[in-house]
Amino acid sequence: MMLDYQPGQIVYIIIRNPHAQDVAHVQQAAIVQHPENPNELALFSHEHHYPLSDEMAIFTTEDEAEAAYQEAFGDLDNGELYG
């Protein structure tokens, strides 16, 4: 179930590099009005709009996103990488 997002809200996502799928990082994004459907919200990141869905891992704080990143990909500082 998606949270009740508001336009202008800053959120955090884990995003993979489209050119190197083994590279991922936590990225700040914004919740905005969907440019093609004013009745919907979208995620704006890297100059693109993405429709919101339950399949997206969106975090309300950077700490939550970092913790999920560590769980999914391991701790790079300790040489662990599971991604």
Q: Which residues of 25-64 are buried (b: 16+ CB within 10 A; e: fewer)?
A: ebeebebeebeeeeeebbbbbeeeeeebeeeeebbeeeee
How sure is the predictor about 1, in pLDDT bands with cuts at 50, 70 and 90? very low
Tokens of 20: 């190197």
pLDDT tens profile 58-70: 999 999 999 999 9
Per the CB < 8 A criterion, the answer to whether 30 and 43 are in contact is: yes
How sure is the predictor about 34, in pLDDT bands with cuts at 50, 70 and 90? very high
Average confidence (pLDDT) over 17-30: 83
Write down the domain spans for the chain: 10-78
* Average pLDDT of the chain, as a whole number: 84
